Amino acid sequence: MSRRKLKNILGPGKSNPRNAVFVLLAIAALYLLQESGFWPAAGPGPQTDGLISGRVVKVHDGDTFTMIDSGDQKIKVRLFGIDAPELDQAHGRESRRYLRELLEGHEVRVESRGFDQYDRLLGLIYRPDGHSITQDLVESGQVWVYENYCDIDYCAQLRQAQKEAKSARRGLWGDENPLAPWKYRRAQN
């Protein structure tokens, strides 16, 4: 570790090597406690096999919502493997309205797939009865399968559902030439 990094960690005038050793030992001890399970990692509340249950309190757009888990913790969730139109894009508000009708105020289960660059929980979303909300959004033509990020076996099912929605011209596929959200965002920058 460089002297500059140590100064940033320890503050000005406190870059004594003994202090640095103490800080490094403290970090190592915390890491070992966390790895041993004695001190759990921060993150969404109680989990079972990668599943988090909670009630949806706000739908932000067609692929993002906030839920409150069983520990009363607010968690912002981004649906894994799909991409909804931006709100100011064609079908953006319709996509949000559709997701709102499905989720807001309802209980859901989230199958965790990690976190995105904005620290939102990525997940496949299910109703308590096991019905896939993710699949429903694709089948109804509200979203695109996000090809660059949909990299699990389940994505083959989503691709097939998208193909069927396109051929039936459901939702956004009813437009003559719908623009994928990632292309829309790139054009805006």
Task: Point out the catalytic residue in the list 96, 113, 120, 139.
Answer: 120
Task: Point out the catalytic residue in the list 78, 96, 109, 113.
Answer: 78
Contact 76, 66 (CB under 8 A): yes
Instruction: Say if residue 4 is exposed, middle or buried (CB neighbours under 10 Å; 0-12, 13-18, 19+).
Output: exposed
* Residue 105 tokens, joined: 């105020």
Is 176 part of the annotated catalytic residue set?
no
Is 139 part of the annotated catalytic residue set?
no
Is 101 part of the annotated catalytic residue set?
no
Give catalytic residue positions: 78, 86, 120
